[in-house]
A and B are shown apart, each in its own frame.
Chain A
Amino acid sequence: MRSWIEIVEGVKIALGAIRTNKLRSFLTLLGIIMGVSTVIGISSLTQGLDKTVGEELSTLGSDILYVAKFPWTERIDFEEYRNRKDITMREVEALKERATLAVGVSPSVDATRTVKYRNKSLENVSISGTDEVKTGNVYPVLGRDLTAADCEHRRSVCVIGWDVAENLFEDKDPIGQRIKISGHTFRVIGVLEKQGDLFGMNQDQSLKIPIGVFFKLFGHRRSITIQIKVADPLVLEEAKDEIRGILRQVRKVKPGEPDNFGINQMDMIMNLYRSLTGGLYAAAIGVGAISLLVGGIGIMNIMLVSVTERTKEIGIRKAIGAKRRNLLWQFLIEAVTISVVGGIIGVIIGFGLGKLVAAISPLPATVTLWSVLLGLGFSSSVGIFFGIYPASKAAKLDPIQALHYE
């Protein structure tokens, strides 16, 4: 009861002091506001990003390996880059034959072309040459997928992405229609389900054709990416070792020499992403910490001024029975109230900034209770830490001297 009365009194006094010294209080609070809004703004953006990236990556599956000419996340010098041998169908055949831990091995090559249907055309469609083996989890919603026969006989057929269907055919049934890619005619046999964006890239403005047709049309001189679905995510590491062995043999890598290919997985992108946002977090925390420190010094300063200005008040309170503890609390609560007001303003501005960035850029923003509590927790700790010295100074004042202070 007793301390509750004190807290209510202290908060009232602090709010009154903020109101009577609006400009001074605002300047004092600037540091805290900046610190908290930086942390909240950045964390709401990175958390939003985490959420969407996590969701996007999980649709790709963790049991798929991507064999490519280069590892995704490693630096390679230019000489090496030019001289490295392409991944060819020989590697695909070898893996299909000998990789026992793989349940699906599928090559793919990509090119970007304009696709035409009658007088309509769609630019920048991602054309991929592949075979009938399924490694991903995207299925046709209309018609059928590529079959072994399509690939074997190099039929001029294609399975088109959702956006291609929408743009070229609108309400018409695309199945059986003929489209043109680089002057070559393809028959549409299927339409894939809608996939959405991945890392900001539209996955639906795409189509698949048999890889043999792709080579005939666009040439052989390009490196293949091989998608490998592993039997069980638990044997991922063993599968990698097996694949590495096969590839080193096929590509004639001498013992002791490094791999001249990369075995990639989505985790690598996730890790890369984590290290990037981790850096962003660290920067935000750095800026936030410095601002909070500056804000804390501001709080200490204003509290010292407040204690001096109110020396007589302290004397009066002591004369009529305030104990050290009472005055310590009074000024500590005042410091915390001021800094929490700054914290609340900072949280609001931080969210505003997050939402603003989300509105004008493709970045998403997520508001979590956790970061609100973090912001308020930080600002009140700053209030306590930097308020304790002025408050204890007030508590220790001699009542007679304080009473006679003018």
Chain B
Amino acid sequence: MLIDLKKITKDYHVGTQTVHALREINLGIDSGEYVAIMGPSGSGKSTLMNILGCLDTATEGIYNLNKSNVSELNDDQLAEIRNREIGFVFQTFNLLPRATALHNVELPLIYKGVSAADRKKRAEAALDKVGLSDRMTHRPNELSGGQRQRVAIARALVNDPSIILADEPTGNLDTRTGDEIMEMFEALHDEGNTIIMVTHEEYIAEHSDRIIRLRDGLIERDEAA
């Protein structure tokens, strides 16, 4: 199993109150799966994605990623795991505004310590893969929304991660562009990538193999799409 969550709990303390964002979640995801996470606002989707993506750690419970326990790593160890194992695609793209598409895609490789020549080659290949070989030197504000999201996908892919995590990747796009992006995820899935995606839209979730529905920090349903 690629991902194995055992009794994952996440509490937030706001003033004197405690918010239980996740309550003893058990979840297993295999390599190569395409999973959609759904649920009403405030149900804990983002919290779960943050934990899966090693941006945050659970209050209690055990998270095994690739058979190693990542529940109690420190900040820098988590950063290294994110760099190696996780590719993020965000709703708001989250590209560096002043950097070119190529530089944005190179960034994870910089933190991995890849040499300049190698970095360039790999970033160019990733941009080529998302169909942006003619936009390498453009900055985000010179690209359309769909193109920006494709740069973000190239950045997520460039380090060959174990998991691609996407939090509402089509939320800021029109329907047609959104469909193009969904086709791209499908192609990535067909190549054997593991994809976990948060979405509000049933028709988007339909693209996946498996839908996990959250409510009040609990898994309400977990079924094949």
Seen from chain A, the residues whose Cβ lies within 8 Å of a Cβ on chain B are 1-2, 5-6, 9, 16, 20, 312-313, 315-326, 399-400, 403
Binds A, one of B27-35, B63-71, B74-82: B74-82
Docked complex Cα distance between A323 and B116 (Å) = 19
Q: Are A321 and B96 in touch, CB under 8 angstroms?
A: no
Q: Are A325 and B88 in touch, CB under 8 angstroms?
A: no
- Tally of chain B residues near chain A (CB < 8 A): 28
Q: Are A320 and B83 in touch, CB under 8 angstroms?
A: yes
Partner of A5, one of B88, B90, B94, B110: B110
B50 within 8 A of A: yes
Distance (whole angstroms) from the CB of A20 to the closest CB of chain B: 8
Task: Mark contacts of B17-40 with chain A using CB atoms, 8 A cut-off: 1 yes-contact digit, 0 otherwise.
Answer: 000000000000000000000000
Partner of A313, one of B79, B80, B88, B96: B96
- For the complex with contacts A320-B155, A403-B90, 11 further pairs of A-B residues with Cβ separation under 8 Å are A1-B115, A316-B94, A319-B94, A320-B83, A320-B88, A321-B82, A321-B108, A321-B111, A321-B112, A322-B79, A403-B94
A1 in contact with B83 given A313-B96, A316-B96, A400-B50 (CB within 8 Å): no
Distance (whole angstroms) from the CB of A310 to the closest CB of chain B: 9
Q: Are A320 and B50 in touch, CB under 8 angstroms?
A: no
Docked complex Cα distance between A49 and B112 (Å) = 55
B15 within 8 A of A: no
Docked complex Cα distance between A9 and B106 (Å) = 12
Q: Are A323 and B79 in touch, CB under 8 angstroms?
A: yes
B107 within 8 A of A: yes
Docked complex Cα distance between A316 and B88 (Å) = 10
Seen from chain B, the residues whose Cβ lies within 8 Å of a Cβ on chain A are 50, 53, 55-56, 75-76, 79-80, 82-84, 88, 90, 94-98, 107-108, 110-113, 115-116, 155, 159
CB-CB nearest in chain A for B85:
A321
Contacts of A326 in B (CB 8 A): 111
Contacts of B94 in A (CB 8 A): 312, 315-316, 319, 403
Docked complex Cα distance between A324 and B56 (Å) = 15
A5 in contact with B155 given A319-B82, A320-B107 (CB within 8 Å): no
CB-CB nearest in chain B for A320:
B108
Contacts of B82 in A (CB 8 A): 319-321
Contacts of A16 in B (CB 8 A): 98
CB-CB nearest in chain A for B116:
A5
Contacts of B159 in A (CB 8 A): 321
Contacts of A320 in B (CB 8 A): 82-83, 88, 107-108, 111, 155
Closest 6 CB pairs of A and B: A321-B83, A2-B113, A321-B111, A323-B76, A320-B108, A323-B79
Contacts of B111 in A (CB 8 A): 317, 320-323, 326
Docked complex Cα distance between A1 and B115 (Å) = 8
Contacts of B112 in A (CB 8 A): 321
Q: List 26 A-B contacts (CB under 8 A).
A: A6-B110, A16-B98, A20-B98, A313-B96, A315-B94, A316-B94, A316-B96, A317-B107, A317-B111, A319-B53, A319-B55, A320-B83, A320-B88, A320-B107, A320-B108, A320-B155, A321-B79, A321-B82, A321-B108, A321-B112, A323-B75, A323-B79, A325-B76, A400-B50, A400-B56, A403-B55
CB-CB nearest in chain B for A312:
B94
CB-CB nearest in chain B for A313:
B96
Docked complex Cα distance between A100 and B79 (Å) = 86
